[in-house]
Structure 1
Amino acid sequence: MNKGAPASMAKIIYTLTDEAPFLATHSFLPIIQAFAGTAGVDVETRDISLSGRIIAQFPERLTDEQRLDDALTELGELAKTPEANIIKLPNISASIPQLKAAIAELRSQGYDLPAYPDEPTTDEERDVRARYDRVKGSAVNPVLREGNSDRRAPLSVKNYAKKHPHRMGAWSHDSKTNVVTMGKDDFRSNEQSWIAPADDTLTIEFVAADGDTTVLKQSIPVLQGEVVDGTVLHVRALEVFLKDQIAAAQEQGVLFSVHLKATMMKVSDPIIFGHVIRAFFPTVFERFGADLAAAGLNPNDGLGSVLAGLDAVPNGAEIKRAFDEGLDAGPELAMVDSDKGITNLHVPSDVIVDASMPAMIRTSGHMWGPDGEEHDTLAVIPDSCYAGIYQTVIEDCRANGAFDPATMGSVPNVGLMAQKAEEYGSHDKTFEVPGAGRVRVVTSGGETVIEHEVEAGDIWRACQTKDVAIRDWVKLAVTRARASATPAVFWLDETRAHDANLIGLVRTYLAEHDTDGLQIEIESPEDAMAFSLERIRRGEDTISVTGNVLRDYLTDLFPIMELGTSAKMLSVVPLLGGGGLFETGAGGSAPKHVQQLVAENYLRWDSLGEFLALAVSFEHLGGATGNQRAKILGETLDRATGTFLDENKSPGRKLGSIDNRGSHYYLAKYWAEELASQTEDAELAAAFADVAASLGSHEQVIVEELNGVQGHPADIGGYYRPDDAKTGAVMRPSGTLNGILAAL
């Protein structure tokens, strides 16, 4: 069947990641490889899972069979080349508890890995900690995203959502749900921003009150035109703010919730999370803080981690009673799982702002309370950089009611993220300040360009945004505005230091493009949100052009309102080097899906994001290499995905309906039918006629084989590092389907 395909195999890299997307890959990848081979396209895999990244850090401790290459570093270099064609599935952005759990599982599987040192005291422990720190948090995305983001709902997906609108909770005019934020003494209000006049090397220093200077970070290279920001959140003000909000929630009779991003903001936000727990249980930490610290129980890891460790503490039962009394004395907490008693404060990575706030807005402004019922909520987002956008949406819903997915417009996004732009608050340049004094950023010539007065415990951070990334971002915004004939709004606030610098650069670079006939605006995030909401209620589209963190927030918020999930978005990253990165959607619900598979052999994960990314990947490959068959594969897959949606073959919610594996079968069937009926390549059509016929005639048998395994526990051999053979057997239970694919 490869006759007529290019002699040399073109290549797509399909990433192996974590949780439900990884399980789905065992079912879908054999289909991809079978179909792609007909076009001379080799689909290779690279393991960038959390467990794979951990294993790659310690080759000297492992056997030859256990060692893994550093696939992430390899792909980071590939992403800079014109040949790059990478399909990137959702990863775990590991919090400390997740990282420790993954290490424990790997050790139980025979991997000789060191324990994670919370407080390293030796050179060896510091080396181990540094290696693990390269793995935790958002370790993958900054490496692969060597381009800016073009993220939107494909027309087929948007049309399906309009024809089959998901449920939106009704809003009440007297809803007491609100967002509260510091507004002063936080990262936004203290930000300073500097544009490098020439290539240089910077140093971050802490100058103590007695004049003693400690280097926090040295040898930070910057390029001419690079935007460098530094800021600090003062914890004394944070503590007062949290105390006030806990009292306000109790007085108003609403749930108390905190919304952070302890995965991406992997240094700053766990610290803030710890302060929230201390503020909620002040008596416990006044009485037992020293005991908890001595036992290594850190509130930064979450209330659940602290409670779980009390069994090993001599007075643990007494401390547990004190926590229970604190829960009774305070306002009711929003719950992650009310049946299991898991609160908003149990795990830092359980309530992530970009997923949790849209879910709350979609559900009438409610979160779940300890009684298992929905309630109005006080949503605490300490830093005020972007908290206001959520309050704007809440006020709009309170005034105008819930959005209607059947009529609402769309808000695609052009996001600034190339070359680690804005880097989620830059993990490697974030510090918990050791004492009173000053933190400053100094050039190689000794000039201080950013400086803040600080006190012990303050959280100071810096981040960088390269000029080439900003130029490309502006270019992409103009390109998308013209291609879609849609207004584009840069969400930038002239009263914020970083944004003020970007506004100047945006205006300069917009002048380099033909913008005649285009509506391109610059508005503060709150004003841009209000403008976009007014338009989508009229059914009109508006392109949001944003920085990296706000990109992350909006590409969950709007898709969850429009489509019911962010997993159905098309996310294309045109790489600066000429290649392409194609991302497949979000993975926020993946943990629950894995739990259900293990318990019931039923995987609800929807691979639509993979279908969308793969189609664009084939089309990009066809255009870049002149491979006409790859182009045909992409076009036919796109049409097959439309049929897939129209026929409603996404995974069902109940046992007995098709799950992820069944949805893959139907996608393969529709794709084969499209290939068989296309007229551009007669040989390809003839070959797929047999495949389409076999898949169609054996439909009942295949579905029965796939559904017949449901309802019983499934053994995949691990959560963070499932066994390949066991997982393959679980995810490919139809011998009939496997045989048809093998014939290709």
Structure 2
Amino acid sequence: MARIIYTHTDEAPMLATASFLPILDAFSNTAGIDVTTRDISLAGRIVAAFSDRLPEDQREADALAELGELAKTPEANIIKLPNISASVPQLKAAVAELQGQGISLPDYPESPETDEEKDVRARYDSVKGSAVNPVLREGNSDRRAPAAVKNFAKKHPHRMGEWSKDSRTSVATMDANDFRANEKSVVADGEDTLSIVHVGSDGAETVLKPSIPVLDGEVVDSTVMRAEALDAFLREQVAAAKKQGVLFSVHLKATMMKVSDPILFGHAVRAMFPTLFDQFGDQLAAAGLSANHGLGGILTGLEEFDAELRDGVRAVIDKDLADGPDLAMVNSHKGISNLHVPSDVIIDASMPAMIRTSGHMWNSDDAEQDTLAVIPDSSYAGVYAATVEDCQKNGAFDPTTMGTVPNVGLMAQKAEEYGSHDKTFEIAADGQVEVRDASGTALMSQDVATGDIFRVCQAKDAPIRDWVQLAVRRSRESGMPAVFWLDESRAHDRNLIEKVNTYLAEEDTEDLDIQIMSPVEATKHTLARVRRGEDTISVTGNVLRDYLTDLFPIMELGTSAKMLSVVPLMNGGGLFETGAGGSAPKHVQQLIEENYLRWDSLGEFLALAESLRHLARTADNARAAVLADALDRATETLLNEGKSPQRKLGTIDNRGSHFYLAMYWAQELAQQSEDTQLAEAFGPIAQELTDSEATIAEELLAVQGSPADIGGYYRPSDAKADAVMRPSATFNRILEEISAAL
């Protein structure tokens, strides 16, 4: 049988899978397609990392490593749902839950000293942050809004907050001594093995990374964020927000940049709470309470302090809050601020949300307020600054008329910042850090001081060439102009521009409009076209791919979850991603409290259709193409009939949306003429689903309104999750009948 691998991930997408997978199984079986799952959830990855140390009955295979190898083969057909990119607080919570379920995992060591503790810490660090995507992404990214989704958004526009020309919202970023300003870049001349070495002021050498294999033509960068300059910048922004009477907010990516950005976040926490760390910094550190984990981690850890010390710390926190600017809130009802948890405010979701909401974030009184958005590194902060300035000048974007901005993103083989995780270091002593070749010659050198953040990242030549080819292909297929967002004043981008020009010369670009612009100029150019209703492909590196595929979809469609994300793998396979999962935690909370899951599986439907088409081509399975075309028509009907999940209890939720998708899909299969056997088989099934609509809808609605027990957050009970997510006996019975139809 042909095979599709459907990933088992986390939070709301995982729960939705319990409802949708039986539908997918039933329909795919009719085309001889075997849909199997692989567990790449945070919990699954934690257990796999320690399997060799666990009792035999607790061990699990490393599904992520298996899929990583599969992604390098032509047979790969993987549907990848959003997964948790874990911060340390999330990782600890998942470990505690698994331990409570009887899994013999060690505690997370905050300050490992022994070899045993260092080994444990290294295993946990391997599953922190964006550990999944770099393994699976053996191709570059093609993300776009499908025509049906874009047309629906134009007919049924989401709400956009109005912008005032008097808006005081702004973006603040560093103008020197940051990652962008200090960047150096080289192109490997032949295969080599590099190393990263710290040379202390006394000449003593410490090898930070002994072996970094590089290929001929590979672009390698080094850079440093200077801690002293960062602290000065953050103190200035705290004071500026206070003076201007706007909210102070910090926007980072502590999930993808899992080493550097939690450290940056910690610097911001210390800047906001100077008295706290002046008076109690030593006691907090001794208790393992780090600013890098956020204010929330500190407040939780205070429960272990004696009453006098606990009260003293809380009093100082209250004083710093009173003396400082108003803080942007993540959840004002629960008192959770922008600085509580590093993974709560992820820049690619938080900045578009702010722009969509009139440039406002929420204050502690649960009211909207102008905001100072602080983005320390200046590499891409100008993109958001230019967008804010555009809205202040021209007003909010109009979803009914605005153009679309697809993206072709460089990410294959851990290109750019995703590859920086194991090559990023908080510097322990003054001196220099050198990137050396195999002969010991320093290719790049950076002066460093204690506390600076040094990093190296890579982009291999073959993915860059593939990226250029994909951009040209998408421009020709779509008829849209394409813009490479590259800045000649940045060292890394200069090397990429040279390669882009070389590889463009090898392609047929006649009659195509392909340009290279700096990110700021590209933003202004693209926004002007967007406002005229014109479409423009953004061709970007890895980080901007993440940023722009949230920024533009959130303005165009109201969400990035409705984007089609195809990854043509370089060796011929296919990876099909289903959108972002940023709101997933809130959805799970609502399900547990009210048995109502608001998660929209539209991304899963779109990815599945492309996966089926890929299978039709690669496995010569004509019926898979019939299923795909029928699914697309069913998805469009679902949108037009308003059967996507609604926001309020008592209306259709994720489970109801799945039922209607199945009903419309069956109807389309019954009506199509390409495969008469399939049409005949689905005729009675479509009729039964249609006739049972009222009964099934009633069964699905009847369970709402009371708490739901799923047996865990990070690793729910399969039986309990299935019971919650499949409450309609009528629908379940009909699904069983489909497999017997052919």
Would the TM-score normalized by the shorter structure come out above 0.5?
A: yes
**2:97 is matched by which residue type in structure 1?**
E
1:717 aligned to 690, 693, 711, which one?
711
Distance 2:638 2:663 in 1: 9
1:640 aligned to 604, 625, 634, which one?
634
**2:611 is matched by which residue type in structure 1?**
S
1:121 aligned to 113, 119, 122, which one?
113
1:730 aligns to 2:724 (yes or no): yes
2:23 aligned to 28, 31, 46, which one?
31
Question: Which residue is equivalent to 1:71?
Answer: 63
Question: Which residue is equivalent to 1:195?
Answer: 187
Q: Please give the per-residue CA displacement for 1:337-379, whole angstroms capped at 9, x wherever unaligned.
A: 1111111100000011000000000000000001110000000
2:280 aligned to 267, 284, 288, which one?
288
Distance 1:330 1:309 in 2: 23
1:630 aligns to 2:624 (yes or no): yes
1:425 Cα deviation from its structure 2 partner: 6.1
1:671 Cα deviation from its structure 2 partner: 0.4
Question: Which residue is equivalent to 1:106?
Answer: 98
**2:693 is matched by which residue type in structure 1?**
E
Question: Which residue is equivalent to 1:521?
Answer: 515
Distance 1:723 1:388 in 2: 45
Question: Which residue is equivalent to 2:702?
Answer: 708
1:551 aligned to 532, 545, 553, which one?
545
Distance 2:366 2:595 in 1: 27
Q: Retained in 2: the 8 A contact 1:619–1:630?
A: yes
Q: Please give the per-residue CA displacement for 1:628-671, whole angstroms capped at 9, x wherever unaligned.
A: 00111111101111111111100111111110000000000000
1:381 aligns to 2:375 (yes or no): yes
Question: Which residue is equivalent to 2:295?
Answer: 303
Distance 1:453 1:736 in 2: 68
1:339 aligns to 2:326 (yes or no): no
Question: Which residue is equivalent to 2:166?
Answer: 174
1:391-402 equivalences in 2 (<5 Å): 391-402=385-396
**1:675 is matched by which residue type in structure 2?**
L
SS in 1 for 2:31: coil
Question: Which residue is equivalent to 1:133?
Answer: 125
Q: Retained in 1: the 8 A contact 2:419–2:458?
A: no
**2:24 is matched by which residue type in structure 1?**
I
SS in 1 for 2:413: helix
1:446 Cα deviation from its structure 2 partner: 1.5
Distance 2:392 2:46 in 1: 46
Q: Retained in 1: the 8 A contact 2:86–2:130?
A: yes
1:423 Cα deviation from its structure 2 partner: 3.4
Question: Which residue is equivalent to 2:465?
Answer: 471
Q: Retained in 2: the 8 A contact 1:676–1:692?
A: yes
SS in 2 for 1:654: coil
1:216 aligns to 2:208 (yes or no): yes
Question: Which residue is equivalent to 2:146?
Answer: 154
1:345-364 equivalences in 2 (<5 Å): 345-364=339-358
SS in 2 for 1:610: helix
Question: Which residue is equivalent to 1:590?
Answer: 584
Distance 1:59 1:448 in 2: 40
Question: Which residue is equivalent to 1:620?
Answer: 614
Distance 1:64 1:663 in 2: 40
Q: Retained in 1: the 8 A contact 2:134–2:419?
A: no
Q: Retained in 1: the 8 A contact 2:154–2:400?
A: yes
**1:306 is matched by which residue type in structure 2?**
I
Q: Please give the per-residue CA displacement for 1:676-724, whole angstroms capped at 9, x wherever unaligned.
A: 1111111110001111011000000000011100001000000000000
Question: Which residue is equivalent to 1:90?
Answer: 82
- Alignment length, in residue pairs? 736
1:519 Cα deviation from its structure 2 partner: 0.3
Question: Which residue is equivalent to 1:449?
Answer: 443
SS in 2 for 1:266: coil
SS in 2 for 1:359: helix
With the length of structure 2 as denominator, give the TM-score of the two structures: 0.99
Distance 1:517 1:603 in 2: 48
**2:547 is matched by which residue type in structure 1?**
Y
Q: Retained in 2: the 8 A contact 1:86–1:581?
A: yes
1:64 Cα deviation from its structure 2 partner: 3.4
2:647 aligned to 639, 643, 653, which one?
653
1:367-516 equivalences in 2 (<5 Å): 367-424=361-418, 426-516=420-510
2:4 aligned to 7, 12, 20, which one?
12
SS in 1 for 2:104: coil
Question: Which residue is equivalent to 1:6?
Answer: none
SS in 2 for 1:65: helix
Distance 1:438 1:425 in 2: 22
Distance 2:654 2:297 in 1: 33
**2:185 is matched by which residue type in structure 1?**
S
1:664-703 equivalences in 2 (<5 Å): 664-703=658-697
Question: Which residue is equivalent to 1:255?
Answer: 247
Question: Which residue is equivalent to 2:217?
Answer: 225
1:307 Cα deviation from its structure 2 partner: 1.1
1:66 Cα deviation from its structure 2 partner: 2.4
Distance 1:432 1:64 in 2: 38
SS in 2 for 1:170: coil
SS in 2 for 1:419: coil
1:63 Cα deviation from its structure 2 partner: 3.5
SS in 1 for 2:57: coil
SS in 2 for 1:44: strand
Q: Retained in 2: the 8 A contact 1:142–1:423?
A: no
Distance 1:424 1:324 in 2: 38
Distance 2:123 2:685 in 1: 48
**1:214 is matched by which residue type in structure 2?**
T
Question: Which residue is equivalent to 1:319?
Answer: 313
1:537-548 equivalences in 2 (<5 Å): 537-548=531-542
Distance 2:101 2:498 in 1: 54
Q: Retained in 1: the 8 A contact 2:587–2:597?
A: yes
Distance 1:715 1:55 in 2: 23
SS in 2 for 1:444: coil
1:269 aligned to 251, 261, 275, which one?
261
1:272 Cα deviation from its structure 2 partner: 0.7
Q: Retained in 2: the 8 A contact 1:11–1:42?
A: yes
Which shifted more, 424-433 or 37-46? Answer: 424-433
With the length of structure 1 as denominator, give the TM-score of the two structures: 0.98
Distance 2:684 2:35 in 1: 23
Tell me, which stretches of 5 or more residues in structure 1 are unaligned? 1-8
Distance 1:460 1:425 in 2: 14
Q: Please give the per-residue CA displacement for 1:146-202, whole angstroms capped at 9, x wherever unaligned.
A: 000000000000000000000000000010000000021000000000000000000
Distance 2:646 2:258 in 1: 35
1:46 aligned to 32, 38, 42, which one?
38
SS in 2 for 1:126: helix
1:500 Cα deviation from its structure 2 partner: 0.5
